[in-house]
Structure 1
Amino acid sequence: MEKLVPGKRPLVPRNILVETILKHKHELVFNNEIARATAAVWKVIEAGLDNKIKATSLHSMCVGNRYHLKSLLTDTATLDADQEYEVSLNECESSESNRNSMRNSLGNSFNFILSIKTSKFESLLTERVYARKTMKGKIGERRITIFQPSKWTEIVSKKIYDDYRLNHGYHFKNHYLTRQADYGVFKGLCKCGSTVICKAKENVENANYEGISGKKIAKDLQTESTVKWRHRVASEMMDKGISVEPPHLYNADVLRVAKHECIRMQYLDQDPIKAIAILKKSSVGQNVIRDIGYDPFHVTIASAHQIRVFNKMNRICETNLSIDATGGVAKKIVHVDGRVSKHIFLYNAESHDMASISKWLLGTIRCGMEFPRQVTIDESKALENACALIFSGDFNITKYANRCFNTGKTDFPKTYIRTDVAHYIKSWVNFFSKESKEKWKKKFYLCAIGQLILCRDRDSAKCLITALLTVSLSEKAGVGATSLNESLHTIKSLVLGNTCQEEEVEEIISKTIEDSEKDIEEATEEGEDEDEPQMSNLVANQWQQWGNDIRNEVERKLEYENGDDYNPRYFPAFAERLMKKMATIPLWSCICRDDFGYGRIPASSAPVEAEFNIIKNRILCKRILRVDVAVRTFLEYIDGKLKIFEAKSNPTNENINIEIKSTMESPRRPKKIDVSDDATPNFPVVSLNSTTAYEIAQKFNSSRSRDIFKDELSPISSTKNDTHCPSGSIEKENFSGSKCESYVPEESIRRRKPLHDLSSEMNQEFVCEYCEKKSNNEQVCVICKRIMCSECTVSQTEEEGEMKLCLECFQNSRKDDRLATQKIDNWKGKGGSPKISKKSRYLNKNTAEFLDAMSFKKYCKLPCLKNGTISSLRLIKIGNSEVSLTNTCAFDSITQILMAAMSDNDNIKKFMNIHRYQNNFFDLVYDTVEHGISQKTYKRRAEIICHLFGEEIKDNTTHEINCTTSASSLAAKIFKTHPSFIEIRQCEDGCYRKIEYATYGWHARLLKENLQTFIETIATKEKRCKNNCETYQSVSLEMGDIVLFEVYGQEDKIPIDSISNSFINKSNETYHLMGVIHYVGPKMLTRTPIPGHYIAYCKRGTCWMVYDDLKEKAERSSQNLKVYPEILVYCKI
Structure 2
Amino acid sequence: MKCSYKGKFDIPHSKKRKLMGSKKDEALNQIINNKISPSVYVRNEANKIMKEGDSLSAQIPSISSLKTAKSRALALTRLHSDPISALNIMKCSTTYSSTIRSIGHNGFYVHFWSNLQLQIYKECYSKVSIPCISFDATGGCCKRIKRPEGNQSSHLFLYEGIMNIDSKTFTVLSMISEQHDTLSIYIWLTRWLRCGIKAPKMAISDQSLAIMSALIQSFTQYKSLQEYLEVCFKFAVNKNENKNKIPSCYIRNDINHFVSLIAKWDTLKQCKFTRTKQLFIRSMTLLIYCTSMKEAKQILEAIFKIALSKYDGPLLVPTEYEKDTPCAISKRYLQDLIANKASYLQVFDHLIDENESTNVINQQNEENEDLSEEITGSFKNWASIIANDCLSKVEKIEGEFDNAQYTPELVPLVINAMKLYPCWSGIMTTIFGYGEATVSSSRVESNFYQIKNRLFKTEHLPIRVDDFVQKLVYYYKGDNLLLQNAGLLNKKSLNNNNNKTNEENTDIQDYDIHKETVIEGCEDIHIETDLEGFEGIHTEANIEDNEDIQTETDIEDNEDIRTETDLEGCECIHTKTDIEDNEDLYTETADRDGNIENMQKETVIGDNEDNMHAEPEVVVNEENNISFCLPCKNGDFPTGIHRCVKCKKSVHLFGCSVRYIHSEEGYGQSRVCLSCAEKDNENVAEEHWQKRGKSTSLSLCRSAKSYLVSQPGFDKLNLNQKGCEKSIYFLKNGNVLQSKPYNLPQIGKVLLSNTCSPDSLLTIFACAAADSQIFFKYIASLIKIDKTAKFIINMIDRKRNGNIYKERISLLAPYYLPNNKQLVGGITLLDAMDTITSTATKLLHQMPSYKKLNRCTDYLCSEFAIDNTSQVIQLNAFDGRIDIQKEIDSFTKEEITTCTYCNSRRKVTFSTKTHILIELVSLPEELETSTSVCSINKIDQVHQNYAGEVLLTTDEIPKVLHVKGITYFIRGAVVYTSGNRTGLRVKSGHYKAYCFRPNDRWEIYDDLQEKILPSKNEKNNVELLLYTK
Deviation at 1:952, TM superposition (A): 7.3
- The answer as to 2:465 corresponding to 1:627 is yes
Instruction: Map residues 81-160 of structure 1 onto 2, 5 A cutoff.
Output: 84-85=4-5
**Match among 131, 137, 154 for residue 325 of structure 1:** 137
Partner of residue 1093, structure 1: 990
Q: Residues of 1 paired with 2:144 and 2:800: CA distance?
A: 52
Deviation, 1:637, is 1.9
The Cα shift of 1:329 comes to 1.4
Paired residue secondary structure (1:213): helix
- CA deviation profile, 1:1066-1111 (whole Å, cap 9, x unmatched): xxxx999996662525342499999322233557679795543167
User: Aligned residue for 1:897?
Assistant: 764
Q: Which residue matches 1:448?
A: 283
Aligned AA (1:1124): E
Structure 1: how far apart are the matches of 2:443 and 2:710? 25
The code of the aligned residue for 1:926 comes to N
Pairs within 5 Å for 1:624-703: 624=461, 625-648=463-486, 649-652=488-491
Deviation string, structure 1 residues 840-859 (Cα, Å, up to 9, x no partner): 63565423374466866555
Letter in 2 for 1:427: L
Structure 1 Cα separation of the partners of residues 800 and 260 of structure 2: 35
Q: Give the match for residue 1023 of structure 2.
A: 1124
Alignment partner of 1:420 is 2:254:
yes
Aligned partner of 1:283 in structure 2 is 94
Counterpart of 1:635 in structure 2: which amino acid? V
Are 1:417 and 1:587, in contact at CA under 8 Å, matched by a contact in 2? Answer: yes
How far 1:564 sits from its partner (Å)?
A: 4.6
Q: Is the 8 A contact 1:377 1:419 kept in 2?
A: yes
Question: Corresponding residue for 2:355?
Answer: none
User: 1: distance between equivalents of 2:703 and 2:146?
Assistant: 44
Q: Cα 1:893–1:945, aligned 2, differ >3 Å: closer, same or farther? A: same
Between structure 1 and structure 2, the one with the greater Rg is 1
Amino acid at match of 2:1023: Y
Please state how far the C-alpha of 1:612 moved relative to its aligned partner: 0.8
Aligned in 2, Cα 1:271/1:1000: closer, same or farther, shift over 3 Å?
closer
Call closer, same or farther: CA 1:341–1:884 in 2, change over 3 Å. Answer: farther
Task: Work out the CA distance in 1 between the residues paired with 2:394 and 2:134.
Answer: 43
Deviation for aligned residue 1:381: 1.8
How far does the alpha carbon of each residue in 1:232-284 deviate from its partner, in whole angstroms, 9 at most, with x for none? 7778x589x98869955656555545444444444333333333333333334
Which of the numbers 375, 385, 402 marks the counterpart of 2:230? 402
Q: For residue 846 of structure 1, what is the amino acid of its counterpart?
A: S
Q: With structure 2 as the length reference, what TM-score do the two structures score? A: 0.53
Q: Distance in 2 between matches of 1:244 and 1:943?
A: 77
Distance 1:1077 1:608, change over 3 A: closer
Contact 1:467–1:488 (CA under 8 A) maintained in structure 2: no
In structure 2, distance between residues paired with 1:460 and 1:900: 38
Cα pair 2:99 2:114 within 8 Å, conserved = yes
Which of 848, 854, 858 is 2:712 aligned to?
848
Separation in 2 of the partners of 1:316 and 1:1124? Answer: 55
Q: 1:1113 to 1:1001 in 2, by over 3 A?
A: closer
Distance 1:1071-1:628 versus aligned 2 partners, 3 A rule: closer
Report how many aligned residue pairs link the two structures. 675
* Larger RCO, structures 1/2 (Cα 8 Å, 6+ apart): 2
**Contact in 1 for aligned 2:782/2:789 (Cα 8 Å):** no
**Structure 2 CA distance for partners of 1:998 and 1:1081, relative to 1, 3 Å:** farther
Pairs within 5 Å for 1:25-424 = 84-85=4-5, 191=11, 213-214=25-26, 216-219=28-31, 222-226=34-38, 229=41, 247=57, 255-294=66-105, 296-317=107-128, 318-335=130-147, 338-346=150-158, 347-392=175-220, 394-407=222-235, 408-409=241-242, 410-424=244-258
CA contact (8 A) 2:725 2:999 kept: no
Could you give the per-residue CA deviations for residues 44-79 of structure 1, whole angstroms, max 9, x where no partner exists?
xxxxxxxxxxxxxxxxxxxxxxxxxxxxxxxxxx99
Whether 2:1005 is the aligned partner of 1:1108: answer: yes
Distance 1:282 1:412, change over 3 A: same
1:602, distance to aligned residue in structure 2 (A): 1.9
Q: Residue type matched to 2:761 in 1? A: I
Q: Which residue of 1 aligns with 2:858?
A: none
Letter in 1 for 2:460: R
Aligned-residue offset at 1:618 = 1.3
Q: Is the 8 A contact 1:928 1:937 kept in 2?
A: no
Report the CA distance shift for 1:330/1:243 in structure 2 as closer, same or farther (over 3 A).
same
**Residue 383 of structure 1, CA deviation:** 2.1
Match of 1:575 among 402, 411, 431: 411
Say whether the 8 Å CA contact 2:977–2:989 is kept in structure 1: yes
Q: Sort the Cα spacing of 1:264 and 1:895 in 2 relative to 1 into closer, same or farther, 3 A.
A: farther
2:758–2:839 CA contact under 8 A, matched in 1: yes
- Matched with 1:548 is 384
Determine if contact 2:889/2:963 at 8 Å carries over to the other structure.
no
How far, CA to CA, are the matches of 2:768 and 2:702 in structure 1? 33
- Tell me how far apart the structure 1 counterparts of residues 35 and 429 of structure 2 sit (CA, whole Å): 49
The verdict on how the C-alpha distance between 1:286 and 1:942 changes in structure 2, with shifts beyond 3 A counting, is farther
Alpha-carbon distance in 2 for matches of 1:857, 1:1106: 20
Unaligned runs of 5+ in 1: 1-77, 86-108, 110-186, 195-209, 505-536, 657-836, 984-996, 1023-1038, 1064-1069
Query: What letter is aligned with 2:726?
Result: K
Secondary structure in 2 matching 1:325: strand
Secondary structure, aligned partner of 1:324 = strand
CA distance in 1, matches of 2:871, 2:208: 65
Partner of 1:457: 292
Tell me the equivalent position of 1:517: none
Deviation at 1:615, TM superposition (A): 0.8
In structure 1, the residue corresponding to 2:97 is in which secondary structure? coil
> Which of the numbers 1071, 1074, 1080 marks the counterpart of 2:976?
1080
Which of residues 446, 451, 463 is equivalent to 1:615?
A: 451
Q: Is the 8 A contact 2:971 2:995 kept in 1?
A: yes
2:727 aligned partner: 862
Question: In structure 1, the residue corresponding to 2:993 is in which secondary structure?
Answer: strand
Verify the 8 A CA contact 1:883 1:960 in the aligned structure 2: yes
SS of match in other structure, 1:1091 = coil
CA offset digits 1:661-693 (Å, max 9, x no partner): xxxxxxxxxxxxxxxxxxxxxxxxxxxxxxxxx
Q: Which residue of 2 aligns with 1:161?
A: none
**Offset, 1:375:** 1.6
1:926 paired residue number: 794
SS in 1 for 2:157: coil
Q: Give the TM-score normalised by structure 1.
A: 0.49
Residue 413 of structure 1, CA deviation? 2.0
Aligned counterparts of 2:246 and 2:493: Cα–Cα separation in 1: 43
- Cα separation, 2, equivalents of 1:358 and 1:459: 36
Q: Give the percent of matched residue pairs that are identical in Structure 1 and Structure 2.
A: 21
Match of residue 496 from structure 1? 340
One-letter code aligned to 1:348: I
How far apart, CA to CA, are the structure 2 residues paired with 1:1012 and 1:226?
75
Q: CA deviation at 1:379?
A: 0.8
1:446 is displaced (CA, Å) by 2.6
**RMSD of aligned C-alpha atoms?**
6.0
Q: 1:349/1:1090 Cα in 2 relative to 1: closer, same or farther (>3 Å)?
A: farther
CA distance in 1 between partners of 2:150 and 2:752 (Å): 69
CA distance in 1, matches of 2:395, 2:138: 48
SS at match of 2:476: helix
